[in-house]
Amino acid sequence: MSTLRFHALQETLNRKPVEIKENGRRSEMFGENVFNEHAMLQHLTKDAYQSVMNAIEFGTKIDRKIADHISTGMKEWAISKGATHYTHWFQPLTGATAEKHDAFFETIGNGRAMEKFGGGQLVQQEPDASSFPNGGIRNTFEARGYTAWDPTSPAFIYGTTLCIPTIFVAYTGEALDNKAPLLRALQAVDNAATAVCKYFDKNVSKVNASLGWEQEYFLIDAALAAARPDITLTGRTLLGHSPAKGQQLDDHYFGSIPSRVMSYMRDLEQECMLLGIPVKTRHNEVAPNQFELAPIFEEANLAVDHNSLLMDVMEKVAQRHKFKVLFHEKPFAGINGSGKHNNWSLATNTGINLLSPGKTPMKNLQFLTFFVNTIKAVHDNEELIRAAIASASNDHRLGANEAPPAIISVFIGSQLSAVLDELENVTKGKLSPQEKTDLKLNIVGKIPEILLDNTDRNRTSPFAFTGNKFELRAVGSWANCAGPMTVLNTVMAKQLKDFKVEVDALIDEKGLKKDEAVFNILREYIKASKKIRFEGNGYGEAWEKEAKKRGLSNNKTTPEALKAQISKETIALYEEMNVMSKVEVEARHEIELEEYILRIQIEGRVLGDIARNHVIPTAISYQNTLIENVSGLKEIFGKDFKKLAAEQIDLIEKISEHIAGINSKVNAMTDERKKANKFEGQKAAEAYCNKVKPYFDEIRYHCDKLELLVDDNVWPLVKYRELLFTR
């Protein structure tokens, strides 16, 4: 293995940046391989084009005959671009994407063939796909699962395949994917937000949730990654001593991008341009060999699709550049992990960002309405939001090295906090003319000026207002954005629905004017949600004590956090908003628990294998060398050898202690794993979390100590300093 390590290092040092040729202006490349409006206008009839646009804008169904026209145009466009196959591209409950390719090619008899792709093949397929997680919704012997076209997310060509974004449902109609619940949540928030917008602008007929994700990731040379079984099998390092130099000098953050990485980024960005993914920002992140890219905001469903596609594209492009992309939230101990910040807002079809103030008091009151309702929605559903970002991998990141803690709180800045404090004092009931004027001029009217200086962001806050949007910073880099976006838009839809009911009641029953009713309800929401607002440092025992005092939850582990997914309140919420049924909610909970169990199980088996089959044999081999040295000194110097061999003898003893420690802890971990395997569901997850996982750190401790004791020339595993600083 040590030979493999040094061979990998040599291979890495000999790498040269891949030469990338720019293919013209990016604005001209953008969306070239996407069946977008421009492509549709060229390849569809007027009726077919309008039918697709109506489906996108108004959610109307596409007639099957029209679907035949659309499929013909889409096929001709795809073939003209070099496509030979098509696939329904969907997002099963694995968090990844899935595809089964079929050729356009069909035989028609008499030794002849043609390219065929009809409306039926476009709109719906039966891919079987029975082995995907289903949480008991479908049985293998009832394997029918259907994919159905989502016209709101345009088809695209990747390689030689036409990819058609679809939902994936069971034959009984339940969603088996991440997209279907997200689409329902987006419909719910559209309906609720549009109704509230009518208070301020009767012309608003649609509200879209927008999303701008920020994707953090590590790039490790492929040869170095291949020499680490833990990276290959789990996506992270299960052991490895921290190097003397990590990120403490802050010299990597926003620094000059390494040449090989720059070539990778340029290649990736060109692929993104062709696929219509509007990536804009790239930079070095805080940790060595950690980077980030971010796009321009898009409609949330499309943004989720683009992020899922991007992660696949990143891995494929990385292969060309001899890199391994690490999306794990904490691939290396002791340095920053990777998140996927979800920047979320709501925008009207009239072009107004509802989380950005305007030039008039009315626009600012509209901003306050959506701003305060968002805070209230997070306050009332903080445990569900915590569950939405829970995973075995994200547990390692939350609360460490600048990542937000597991306690959900909202940061809005001191200036906006002062505004909300002022609004707490609004008179109950009808407002005097003087109070109305004062509110509009001195509180609501000054919000735009306040936000100009509200640029500070609390990096420890899981949910922060950043000027014209909220940023959910706790999402992990490995996650599918659909999960947290489904939750956030669902709770916001419910909150806005309740808000409208309460405002209408004050108008109809109490005779209040609209503005008075809005101010009265906002005042009560500000008071009720005050405990979720936090401006301080989110790390440490002080905040944990304060959060407990406030009554906020602190679900530190995934098994704890996931309980909120199946509470009576959560199920009632999803059913009321028509986002998920009880069966769908419980199925997802079961799947996420099972994934947690399997990931910890795999990590335990891999760690035990590396510790026993790599670390211990290497330590024994080096120990034997030391013993031979001591024996030789004894033979030469007789009884005086102990003075000369004191350090060697000390090393031999320490190595024996650590070998014994590894052996006993691996045995204990294996025993606990066997016990955990006798349980199911929540009990199994808790057993793996509380009984199996704690041994990881104990085994790692002994392995990492041996790394410092054993001769570097024989150590088999690529070290942290090589993984993080070999470029």
Mean pLDDT of 699-713: 97
**Could you give the C-alpha distances from 389 to 352, 386, 474, 478, 561, in angstroms and in order?**
29, 6, 7, 10, 9
In this prediction, residues 499-508 reach a mean pLDDT of 97
Write down the pLDDT at residue 143: 56
- Taking the C-alpha atoms of residue 109 and residue 338, their distance in angstroms, rounded to an integer, is 55
**Has residue 507 got a pLDDT over 90?**
yes
Residue 144 has pLDDT above 80, yes or no: no
Q: Is the pLDDT of residue 454 over 60?
A: no
In degrees and rounded to multiples of 5, residue 467 shows phi and psi of 105, -50
Answer yes or no: are the C-beta atoms of 618 and 714 closer than 8 Å: yes
Residue 594 — pLDDT band, cuts 50, 70, 90?
very high
Q: Is 86 helix (H, G, I), strand (E, B) or coil?
A: strand
Q: For 469-480, what is the mean pLDDT? A: 95
**Rounded Cα gap, residues 155 and 36, in angstroms:** 8
Higher per-residue confidence, 363 vs 37: 37
Helix axes 646-676, 694-709, angle to 10 degrees: 160
CB 476 within 8 A of CB 329: yes
How many C-beta neighbours within 10 Å does residue 285 have?
Answer: 20
CATH architecture type of domain 595-724:
Up-down Bundle (1.20)
Cβ 221 vs Cβ 16: under 8 Å: no
Burial of 264 (0-12, 13-18, 19+ CB in 10 A): buried
For 354-368, what is the mean pLDDT? 88
Question: Where is pLDDT greater, at 696 or 144?
Answer: 696
pLDDT at 700 over 80: yes
Helix, strand counts (H, E) of the chain? 29, 17
Is residue 28 left, alpha or beta, with left meaning phi > 0 and alpha meaning psi from -120 to 50? Answer: alpha
| Confidence tier at 720 by pLDDT (50, 70, 90) | very high
**Range of weakest confidence among 99-108, 131-140, 358-367:** 131-140
- β-partners of residue 101 are 87
Give me the percent of the chain exceeding a pLDDT of 90.
75
Tell me what the mean pLDDT of segment 200-216 comes to: 96
Q: Is the pLDDT reported for residue 438 higher than 80?
A: no
d(Cα 316, Cα 328) in Å, to the nearest integer? 17
Burial 618-641, CB ≥16 within 10 A → b, else e:
bbeebbeebeeebeebeeeeeeeb
B/e letters for 142-152, b = 16+ CB within 10 Å, e = fewer, are eeebbbebbbb
> What is residue 400's predicted lDDT score, i.e. its pLDDT?
73
Average pLDDT of the segment spanning 433-449: 75
The residue type of 154 is P
pLDDT at 260: 96
The fraction of the chain above a pLDDT of 70, given in percent, is 96
- Residue 21, number of CB atoms within 10 A of its CB: 7
List, for residues 151-206, the tens digit of each pLDDT value.
Answer: 999 999 999 999 999 999 988 889 999 999 999 999 999 999 999 999 999 999 99
Q: Which two structure tokens, joined as six digits, stand for 600?
A: 């910890």
Half-sphere exposure of 405 (CA within 13 A, CB side): 22
pLDDT score of 128 more than 70:
no
DSSP character for 719? P
Residue 293 φ then ψ, to 5°: -135, 150
| pLDDT attached to residue 110 | 81
Nearest to 68 by CA among 149, 128, 171, 165: 149
Task: pLDDT band for 692, please (50, 70, 90 cuts).
Answer: very high
**Measured CA angle at 162 (ends 275, 152), to 5 deg:** 65
What six digits make up the tokens of 645?
Answer: 């061999």
228 near 703, Cβ under 8 Å?
no
Residues 6+ apart with CB under 8 A from 80: none
Q: Using the structure block, give the residue that is written with the tokens 């109809």.
A: 508
Taking each helix axis as running N to C, give the angle between helix 582-610 and helix 694-709, from 0 to 180 degrees, rounded to the nearest 10. 30
Q: Look at residue 685 and tell me whether its pLDDT is greater than 50.
A: yes
The fold adopted by the segment(s) 31-176 is Ubiquitin-like (UB roll) (3.10.20)
Q: Which of 280, 281, 291 is nearest to 253 (CA)?
A: 291
**Which residue from 696, 714, 692, 695 is spatially nearest to 616, judged by alpha carbons?**
714
What confidence category does residue 455 fall into, taking pLDDT thresholds of 50, 70 and 90?
A: very low
DSSP at 244: S
C-alpha angle 448-450-452 in degrees, rounded to nearest 5: 75
Rounded distance between C-alpha atoms, residue 232 and residue 224, angstroms: 10
Give the mean pLDDT of the chain. 92
Q: pLDDT value at position 459?
A: 67
pLDDT reported for residue 426: 84
The amino acid present at 298, given as its one-letter code, is: E
Domain regions of the chain by residue span:
31-176, 186-580, 595-724
Say whether pLDDT at 453 is over 80: no
The pLDDT tens digits for 245-280 are 888 887 888 889 999 999 999 999 999 999 999 999
Q: Is the pLDDT of residue 141 over 60?
A: no
Residues in the chain: 727
Give me the helix-helix angle, 179-197 and 482-510, nearest 10°: 30
Q: What is the phi-psi region of residue 306: left when phi exceeds 0, alpha when psi lies from -120 to 50, beta otherwise? A: alpha
Q: What is the CB neighbour count within 10 angstroms for residue 481?
A: 24
Tell me the pLDDT tens digit for each residue of 538-591.
778 888 999 999 999 999 999 999 999 999 999 999 999 999 999 999 999 999
* Calculated CA dihedral for residues 601, 604, 610, 613, nearest 10 degrees: -90
Asked whether 337 and 403 are in contact (CB, 8 A), the reply is yes
pLDDT tens-digit series, residues 226-240: 999 999 999 999 999
Domain topology for 186-580: Creatine Kinase; Chain A, domain 2 (3.30.590)
Residue 26 burial class via C-beta count within 10 angstroms: exposed 0-12, middle 13-18, buried 19 and up: middle
CB atoms within 10 A of CB 657: 13
CA distances from 601 to 5, 595, 674, 687, 691 (A): 26, 10, 10, 11, 12
Higher pLDDT, 707 or 449: 707
Q: What is the pLDDT of residue 2?
A: 67
- Give the whole-angstrom CA distance, residue 629 versus residue 645: 8
